[in-house]
């Protein structure tokens, strides 16, 4: 194993500009929120450069410096914006204290191999910052919805009381409305009746298709695979329009089975992809051995093949279930007043009624999605252990 780079304190000529850039960025964010981005940028850059000089050149005491930064930023936040800003200041102070000494002491090279050039080190961390920024960009809209669902007022924005963390500004009334209003409970019940059946059809057909395409003697496998996963690639509005005209011609548009079949079509590609990925490492000699022992194809499938590919099948089923439970475009085209699903009710509430109950429904759906995705990850790791791809 390559030796790690020894830690060496860095000169202020390097640390100062880096901290000034970080402070400028942080000040820019604060300044924009207060109507003066340029002023915030300048104040942040000067402040961070001064703190770097103070704690790295004049008074190099790491632990007391960190506590002073945490307390100072928290106090500044409390004076400027109350308790919420104080909490944000605590986070800022902790980050500045950690980052200042992480840069100043050269700890950023501690776990890197010594032969990396400064440019390579810069790209190493820049890449991670970019990934983190993308993650924040994707996750922030979801995080914002959750506290808004506890708003005591019928608003879609944070009220002054919520920003002050006033307990009276928070309420569960939107959740009560979601659980007691017949429109919402009916929509949930419709989704519950549609999604499991659509998932069952998707899993059955998708698994059989994946197993068939895994055989080496099947002609035109690439073309067949492209056709089967096309619902995932083709824009959903186009698929919904095509389904509307086709289902109308055969008389199932606006019916239960019309929505179920449409959702099954959308879920099949997810099952095919996950099961195909599981079958990549499947040892087909096991099925030949079972046949030599006298097992028929059905017995071989359920006794030999299915236990080994079951994690992939369940993962595909969970994705198909999420697709059906969260889908709204196809339901708008194919649904009816009798078969309004939860996403359709949320869309209607946002467009016509402006009902804050949407926020409670969205938070519940996020919780369900997180639970299902966590299950998918557990199954993925179990599948890798069963196939010997990861340690137990």
Assess contact for 167 and 317: CB atoms under 8 A: no
Q: Which residues contact 259 (CB under 8 A, 6 or more apart)?
A: 194, 198, 330, 331, 334, 335, 339, 341
Assess contact for 346 and 188: CB atoms under 8 A: no
What's the predicted TM-score (pTM) here?
0.70
Taking 90 as the threshold, does the pLDDT of residue 196 lie above it?
A: yes
54-57: long-range pairs with CB below 8 Å, 24+: 55/100, 55/101, 55/104, 56/9, 56/12, 56/15, 56/100, 56/101, 56/104, 57/12
End-to-end Cα spacing for the chain: 24
Q: What is the DSSP letter of 167?
A: G
Confidence (pLDDT) at 197:
94
Q: What is the mean pLDDT of the chain?
A: 84
Confidence (pLDDT) at 1:
42
How far is Cα 181 from Cα 385, in angstroms, rounded to an integer?
46
CA 290 remoteness from chain centre: 41
Taking 60 as the threshold, does the pLDDT of residue 306 lie above it?
A: yes
The class level of CATH for 182-386 reads mainly alpha
Place of tokens 């429109």: 183
Place 194 in a pLDDT band, splitting at 50, 70 and 90. very high
Rounded mean pLDDT, 310-330: 87
Taking 60 as the threshold, does the pLDDT of residue 87 lie above it?
A: yes
Assess contact for 184 and 178: CB atoms under 8 A: yes
Alpha-carbon dihedral angle through residues 88, 67, 43, 119, given to the nearest 10 degrees: -90
Assess contact for 70 and 90: CB atoms under 8 A: yes
The CA–CA distances, whole Å, from 261 to 107, 176, 198, 272, 339 equal 57, 33, 6, 16, 14
How far is Cα 272 from Cα 136, in angstroms, rounded to an integer?
31
Question: pLDDT of 158-193, one tens digit each?
Answer: 888 887 778 888 888 889 988 888 888 998 999 999
Taking 80 as the threshold, does the pLDDT of residue 376 lie above it?
A: no
How far is Cα 25 from Cα 18, in angstroms, rounded to an integer?
11
Question: pLDDT of 345-370, one tens digit each?
Answer: 888 877 766 778 888 888 888 888 88
Q: Which two tokens stand for residue 158?
A: 């944070």
Rounded mean pLDDT, 191-206: 93
Confidence (pLDDT) at 390:
54
Place 218 in a pLDDT band, splitting at 50, 70 and 90. confident
Taking 90 as the threshold, does the pLDDT of residue 264 lie above it?
A: yes
Looking at the chain, the whole-number percentage of residues with pLDDT higher than 70 is 95
Confidence (pLDDT) at 353:
67
Confidence (pLDDT) at 201:
94
Q: Which residues contact 178 (CB under 8 A, 6 or more apart)?
A: 184, 357, 360, 361, 364
Place 386 in a pLDDT band, splitting at 50, 70 and 90. low
SS3 state at 251: coil
Assess contact for 54 and 30: CB atoms under 8 A: no
The candidate with the shortest Cα–Cα distance to 259, out of 243, 239, 241, 270, is: 243
SS3 state at 103: helix
Place of tokens 């669902």: 149
How far is Cα 179 from Cα 173, in angstroms, rounded to an integer?
10
How far is Cα 263 from Cα 324, in angstroms, rounded to an integer?
5
Assess contact for 376 and 315: CB atoms under 8 A: yes
Helices (H) and strands (E) in the chain, counts: 18, 0
Question: pLDDT of 271-300, one tens digit each?
Answer: 999 888 888 777 777 777 887 787 787 888
Taking 80 as the threshold, does the pLDDT of residue 129 lie above it?
A: yes
Q: What is the DSSP letter of 11?
A: P
Question: pLDDT of 12-56, one tens digit each?
Answer: 888 888 888 888 888 887 777 677 778 888 888 898 889 888 888
SS3 state at 391: coil
Domain boundaries, the chain: 12-115, 182-386
Q: Which two tokens stand for residue 244?
A: 């509307």
Q: What is the DSSP letter of 253?
A: T
Taking 90 as the threshold, does the pLDDT of residue 268 lie above it?
A: yes
The candidate with the shortest Cα–Cα distance to 322, out of 377, 372, 364, 378, is: 372
Confidence (pLDDT) at 108:
85
More confident residue, 365 or 201: 201
How far is Cα 355 from Cα 292, in angstroms, rounded to an integer?
63
């Amino acid at each position: 194993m390559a030796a790690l780079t020894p830690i060496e304190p860095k000169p202020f000529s390097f640390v100062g500009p880096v901290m000034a850039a970080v402070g400028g960025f942080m000040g820019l964010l604060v300044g924009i929120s207060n109507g003066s981005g340029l002023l915030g940028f300048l104040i942040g850059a000067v402040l961070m450069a001064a703190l770097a000089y103070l704690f790295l050149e004049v008074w190099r005491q790491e632990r007391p410096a960190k506590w002073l930064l945490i307390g100072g930023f928290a106090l500044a936040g409390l004076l400027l914006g109350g308790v919420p800003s104080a909490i944000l200041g605590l986070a800022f102070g902790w980050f500045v204290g950690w980052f200042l000494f992480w840069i100043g002491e050269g700890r950023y090279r501690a776990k890197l191999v010594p032969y990396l050039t400064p440019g390579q080190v810069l790209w190493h961390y820049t890449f991670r910052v970019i990934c983190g920024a993308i993650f924040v960009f994707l996750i922030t809209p979801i995080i914002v919805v959750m506290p808004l669902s506890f708003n005591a007022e019928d608003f879609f924005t944070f009220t002054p009381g919520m920003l002050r963390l006033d307990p009276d500004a928070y309420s569960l009334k939107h959740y009560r409305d979601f659980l007691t209003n017949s429109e919402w409970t009916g929509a949930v019940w419709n989704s519950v009746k549609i999604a499991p059946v659509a998932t069952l059809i998707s899993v059955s057909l998708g698994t059989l298709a994946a197993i068939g395409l895994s055989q080496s003697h099947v002609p035109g496998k690439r073309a067949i695979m492209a056709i089967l996963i096309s619902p995932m690639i083709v824009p959903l509005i186009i698929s919904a329009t095509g389904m509307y005209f086709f289902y109308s011609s055969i008389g199932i548009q606006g019916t239960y089975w019309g929505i179920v079949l449409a959702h099954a079509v959308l879920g099949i590609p997810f099952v095919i992809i996950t099961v195909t990925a599981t079958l990549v490492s499947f040892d087909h000699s096991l099925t030949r051995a079972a046949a030599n022992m006298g097992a028929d194809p059905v017995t071989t499938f359920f006794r030999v093949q299915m236990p080994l590919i079951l994690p992939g099948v369940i993962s595909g089923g969970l994705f198909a279930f999420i697709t059906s439970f969260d889908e709204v475009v196809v339901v708008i085209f194919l649904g009816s007043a009798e078969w309004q699903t939860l996403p359709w009710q949320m869309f209607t509430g946002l467009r016509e009624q402006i009902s804050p109950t949407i926020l409670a429904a969205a938070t519940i759906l996020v919780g369900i999605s997180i639970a299902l995705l966590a299950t998918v990850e557990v199954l993925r790791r179990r599948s890798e252990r069963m196939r010997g791809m990861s340690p137990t």
